[in-house]
Amino acid sequence: MDVSESLQHIRQSLHDLAQPLAAVTGLVDLMLLEMDEQDPLLPEVRMLSEQLEKILQITGEIRRLARETAAPKRSFWKRRPAPVA
């Protein structure tokens, strides 16, 4: 397996990982909409939402890096800056 194939497998695996993460993120966001401000679990559910969003951002960034590594001919000016956390 060459580097290009490996990068494609990495990108596909990250895409596959992002799908259930997005589903869970949606469910947690729905919980946040339905929870009362006085609910003792609200801070934990907010933290879950924030951490899930970070995971989605990280997987997206790794996919972008793999894509750019597989296609090094892309123009420098077309590259997106890494998100600031």
In a domain, 60, yes or no: yes
**C-alpha to C-alpha distance for 57 and 54, rounded to whole angstroms:** 5
Position 81 scores a pLDDT of 65
In a domain, 66, yes or no: yes
Closest CA to 31 of 19, 16, 43: 43
Q: Model pTM? A: 0.70
In a domain, 81, yes or no: no
What is the number of structural domains in the chain? 1
In eight-state DSSP terms, residue 39 is: -
Position 9 scores a pLDDT of 87
In a domain, 83, yes or no: no
In a domain, 82, yes or no: no
Domain boundaries, position 22: 3-70
Return per-residue pLDDT of the chain as tens, 85 residues.
788 888 888 888 988 998 899 899 999 999 999 999 999 999 999 999 999 999 988 988 988 888 888 776 555 556 666 666 5
Position 73 scores a pLDDT of 57
In a domain, 37, yes or no: yes
Tokens of 8: 């494609």
